[in-house]
Amino acid sequence: MQLIVLQLYWSGSLTLHLIFNGGSSLHRPSERSGEDVDIILTRLREVKAFQRFPPPLLLQICACAFYECLEKGITLFRQGDIGTSWYAVLSGSLDVKVSETANHQDAVTICTLGIGTAFGESILDNTPRHATIVSRETSELLRIEQREFKSLWEKYRQSLAGLLAPPYGAMESGSNNDKKLQRAGKVLRNAILSRAPHMIRDRKYHLKTYRQCCVGTELVDWLVLQSACVLTRSHAVGMWQALLEEGVLNHVDQELGFQDKYLFYRFLDDEEEDTPLPSEEEKRESEDELPETILFLAQIGPDALLRMILRKSPGQRTGDDLEIIYDELLHIKALAHLSNTVKRELASVVIFESHAKAGTVLFNQGEEGTSWYIIQKGSVNVVIYGKGVVCTLHEGDDFGKLALVTDSPRAASIEDFNRILRDVEANTVRLKEHEQAVLVLEKSPRASTLGSIKYTVISGTPEKILEHFLETMRMDIHHNPAVDDFVLMHCVFMPNSQLCPLLMAQYPSCLYSLSLSQERLEYALNSKRRALILTLRWANAHTYLLQEEPAAISFLEELYGSLSNDSRMLRALKDLAPDLEKIVKSQRFLHVIEQKTLIRQFSNGEERLQKKQPIRNQDDILLKVYCSDHTYTTIRIAVASTGREVINSVADKLGTTDELVLVHLSSAGEKHILRPNDVSVFSTLSINGRLFACPRDQLNSLTSLPDQEGPSAGSMSTFELMSSKDLAYQMTMFDWELFSCVHEHELLYHTFGRQSFRRTTANLDLFLRRFNQVQLWVVTEVCLCGQLSKRVQLLKKFIKIAAHCREFKNLNSFFAIIMGMSNPAVSRLSQTWEKLPTKFKKFYAEFESMMDPSRNHRSYRLTVTKLEPPIIPFMPLLLKDMTFTHEGNKTFIDSMVNFEKMRIIANTIRQVRHCRSQAFNPDVCQPNKNQSEVRGYVRKLCVIDNQRALTQLSYRLEPRRT
C-alpha cells in the first residue's frame, strides 16, 4: 500500500468529475435490451475497479444490476438497518458516518467513498449495517440485490473479494511484480552484455576500483535508444529506479535513488565475483523478451520516479522534482478544489509512506490527528471498535481529514499547510467597491524581468477583469497568456454584446486640444493602443464566428472609423491601422459570402468527398426526417436549429396538425426523444442513427430502417490491395480536414453546454464521430471476415495502418484503430490472435501501452510532449480534461468569475492550438496511382454500429469454448 501523506489541515468539500454524462441505460433487468447491456459494459470498463473482473462476471453484473442516482445529501441507508443490496460507486462520492449512540444525529464522518469503491457486503450474512451512508454530492451507484449478489459471490468469490473488506475480502500482501522485476533485471543485463558489453566493466574513481559497474548516465542513454516506449530521460530514470527499489540493481554506496549522473550501479548478478556470462541461448531469450520487458518497466517507471522524489526531504527536491509532484497533484481528485498556487506549494511538503505488510495500523480510533492521507496504490480498511471493518478505501480515496478538523492539538507538520494558506492569503489583494470585492489578485512568486511586482487574476467581475488587463497590458510583448485567456474564455462569462461596448468605451474620444498636457496625451494614446491590441486579439480568436453577430461587425466598423480619423493626427496609432483594416475587410468578404447561404448535405451519415469546410451557425442543411412508415421528408433548415424548429418545419412540410416528437433511432432500435431546446440535433446522431418525427402514440411502433444495419459483407477484398501507408495517409488527410474545421470555442460550447450559447458544435461532433467510425470499421471488418487466415491478415493490416498513423502523428485514428482491436467482439477471438505473428503481437502490446489510462493517461501525455506539430490529438481525452476542470470548479465564486478555472481550461484549448500551429504537409507521402480510390474509400467507411450485432457475429466466427 502506498500513500501520499498530506500533513495539513483542510475542511473544504471534495468535488469529483462525473464520468458519465447524461442518464444511464440501467433499466430493470427484465426490460433490458442487448444494447443496454453493451452500454453498461462499456461504462463499467471505464471504472478501474471493474477492469480486472473476468468478462463473464461483468456480463452477469450488466444483466442483474440496477442504477441509482443520488442527489447531494441523500441518506442511502442508516447504521443498524438490515441490508438488502450491495453497492459500487460509479461516480461522485459518499460519506461514511458512524454513531456511538442510538441517535443518528450524533454520527461522525469517518471517511469518504470514491469512484470504484464498494460497500454493503453485510448482506452475505444478514448482519446490520455498520454505518450510515450519505451522498456527499450527486453520485451514481450500481446496486445488486441480495439474492443475485450471493449467487455471484458463490461463482466469482475470488474476483469480488478484491473490492470487499475482510472477512470476505482478501488482505493485500506484497507486490505481484517482484518476480517480473527480477526477471527484468536479468533480461536488461543480458541485453547490455550482448549489445553493448563495454557498459559493464571495472571502473576506477578516486583511487578506488569498483567491479563490474555501469554508469547512471550511460544506462539512461542506452535505455532511451532501445524503444519508443521510453519517452524522456526522466522516464528512463524511473524505470531504473523500479529495479533499484527491488534490489535488482544497486548503487555501489547503497544510495536509494537512481540518478542520471556519473554514479556507479551494479546488477545483482554482478555482485559476486566470477559471475558467468550469459550463454548464447540466454542472450537469444533476453533479446526476445526485451521489448516486453521495456514495456513493463515503462508502465511502472513513472510511479517509481514519483516515489523516489517524495522520499526526498523537501529541502533536497529540485525544480524538476517539484514539477513532477505538482503534475501528480493536479490529477488527484481530493485536491480538485484547491487553487494551483496552493498545489504548487504543497509539492514541497507532501510526504510518501509505504506499508508493504498487510494489517499495518496507520492510526487508532481516538488518537490525535496529524495527517491527511491519500491512497496512491493499494487499499485501506476502516475499522470501528465493536463494529469491525465498515468499509475499504482504494486508490484515489482520502481519509484523516476529520481528525485534523476536530482535534485541537496540531503536529508541527500541520503548520506546513496552515503556513501555505497564510502565505497565499498574505499575497492576495482584494479590490472592493461599495464594500463588495470586485477583483481578487495574487502576487506572483516570480518577479517580472523588470523587477516589478506581478499580479495574477484569481477572480473578479467581468468588467474589472477587463479593466485590469487593459491597464497592465505590456504593448511591447506580442504574446500575453493572461490576455489570451480572457480573449478565449470571455464568452463563458461576458458575451460579445457586453464586451464590444466596453472595448469601445476603453477607446477614448479624439483628444486634439492644444491645451492637452503631454502626460494626458500619452495616457490617451496608451489607452487607445491597449484597446486596439485587445480588440485585434479578440477578432483573430473569433474569426468567422463574428459573422453570426451583427453587433460585433458594427463595433469593428465603428472602431475602424475612429482609428482612421485618429491615425491622421496621431502617428503612434498608424502601425495598428493595417491590421484592423485587414480584419474589417475579411469580415465584409465573409458577409458577402454569408448572403449566399451555404447548403450542407447531411443525410444518412454520408460525407461528400470534397475538402471539408467549417460548418457555421448560419449555414443551411438538407436533412432527412423519417416517419413511422419509413417514408421521409427532406427539410432545409439552419445548422443551429433546435429540436422544436426541426419539428415545426417537418409539420409544415407534411401539412399535419398532430403534435410530433423528434426521435433519434439507433440501428439497435434504441429510441431517444430529443428535447425542444436541443441545438444542432443533426450532428449528434450516432453513425447509423436516423431522425424520426411521429406522434407520441406511434413511438413504440418505430422500427429501424434496413440500411441502418450496416454492411453484410466486409470490404477487405477492396482495401487489402491498398498499401497500409496510403490508407493511413488518406485517413490522416481527412482527419486533418475535420480537425482544422473545429473552432476553439466549440470545445467551450461542448463543455459548458451548447444550449446556453445557442451555438453549434457540428464540426467537433463530426470529428468525434469520425473517431467512432474508424473504431467500428476495425470491428466490422474483423467480424465480417469468415476465414481465419484472412482475419489474421486483417489484424496485421490494422496494426500496420496504426503504426503509419502514429508516424503521421495522427493520434486520433491511431487510438481509434487500437481501441477497435480492443473491442470485446475482436479481443475474444483467441484463435485469431494465437495465429498472429509474435512481432505483431509485440507491436500491438506497445501500442496498447500508450492507451494505458493509469496516472491520468501519463503514457499518452508524455508521448505528445515529444511530438512537433502538426499533430492530430486524441480529442476525447482533451474534452475529458476540460470536463474534469468544469465539473470540479465553480464558474462563479461570490458573484465573481473564477478566472483560475478559465485559465486551466484555456491551457487545454491551447494544446489544440499548438497541434495546429503548423500546416500538415501533403507531400509527406508520395501518392500512388490509386490515391483517388484510397481517398474515396477512407471517406466513406461503412460500419455496423450495433455492438450486440457485432458480438453475435464474433460468436459465429469463434463459438464460446465450453
The pLDDT, as a whole number, for residue 220 is 95
β-pairing verdict for 351-354 and 372-377: unpaired
At residue 25 the predicted structure's pLDDT band, cuts being 50, 70 and 90, is very low
- CB under 8 Å, gap of 24 or more: what pairs does 846-850 form? 846/227, 846/228, 846/229, 846/291, 846/295, 847/799, 847/802, 847/803, 847/806, 847/814, 847/818, 848/818, 848/822, 849/229, 849/295, 849/298, 849/299, 850/815, 850/818
Q: How confident is the model at residue 103 (pLDDT cuts 50, 70, 90)?
A: low
814 pLDDT more than 90: yes
pLDDT range class, residue 166, cuts 50, 70, 90? low
What's the pLDDT at 373? 80
* Residue 495: other Cβ atoms inside 10 A: 15
- CATH 1.10.8.1240 boundaries in the chain: 312-353
Between CA 526 and CA 510 the distance in angstroms is: 13
Tell me where in the chain the CATH 2.60.120.10 domain(s) lie.
3-161
CATH architecture of 3-161: Sandwich (2.60)
**Torsion sign over Cα 36, 38, 44, 50:** positive
Question: CA-CA distance, 327 to 700, in Å (whole number)?
Answer: 51
Q: Which of the two residues, 423 and 126, has the higher pLDDT score? A: 126
Q: Are strands 620-626 and 599-602 parallel, antiparallel or unpaired?
A: parallel
State the Cα–Cα distance between residues 695 and 399, nearest whole angstrom. 54
For 703-726, b/e burial (b = at least 16 CB within 10 A) is: ebeeebebeeebebeebeebbbbb
Of the listed ranges 447-461, 651-665, 945-959, the least confidently predicted one is 447-461
Q: Residue 755 in contact with residue 677, Cβ under 8 Å? A: yes
896 pLDDT tier (thresholds 50, 70, 90):
very high
Residues of the chain with CATH 1.10.840.10: 715-957
Q: Which residue has the higher pLDDT, 172 or 541?
A: 541
Q: What is the pLDDT of residues 619-665, one digit of tens each?
A: 888 899 999 999 999 999 988 889 999 999 999 999 988 899 999 99
Would you say how long the chain is, in residues? 962
CB 599 within 8 A of CB 636: yes
CATH 1.10.10.10 residue spans of the chain: 176-311
Calpha distance 631→628 (Å, rounded): 7
Domain 715-957, CATH 1.10.840.10 — does that match?
Answer: yes
pLDDT at 81: 86
Q: Are 782 and 826 in contact (CB under 8 A)?
A: yes
State which fold the 598-708 domain adopts. Answer: Ubiquitin-like (UB roll) (3.10.20)
**Span 95-103, mean pLDDT?**
74
CATH topology of domain 312-353: Helicase, Ruva Protein; domain 3 (1.10.8)
Name the CATH code of domain 176-311 (choices 1.10.10.10, 3.40.630.10, 1.10.357.10, 3.40.50.720). Answer: 1.10.10.10
Element (H, E) at 909: helix 899-915
Q: If you average pLDDT over residues 364-392, what whole number do you get?
A: 73
Residue 422, SS3 per DSSP: helix
Q: Which three cell numbers stand for residue 368?
A: 490525535
* 409 has pLDDT over 50: no
Mean pLDDT of 716-728: 93
For the domain made up of 473-593, give the CATH fold: Son of sevenless (SoS) protein; Chain S, domain 1 (1.20.870)
242-263: average pLDDT: 90
| Chain region(s) in the chain for CATH 1.20.870.10 | 473-593
Taking the C-alpha atoms of residue 763 and residue 743, their distance in angstroms, rounded to an integer, is 8
**Does 55 sit behind a cis peptide bond, omega within 30 degrees of 0 on the bond before it?**
no
| pLDDT at residue 360 is higher than 90 | no
Q: How confident is the model at residue 512 (pLDDT cuts 50, 70, 90)?
A: low
Residues 844 and 839: their CA atoms lie apart, in Å, by 9
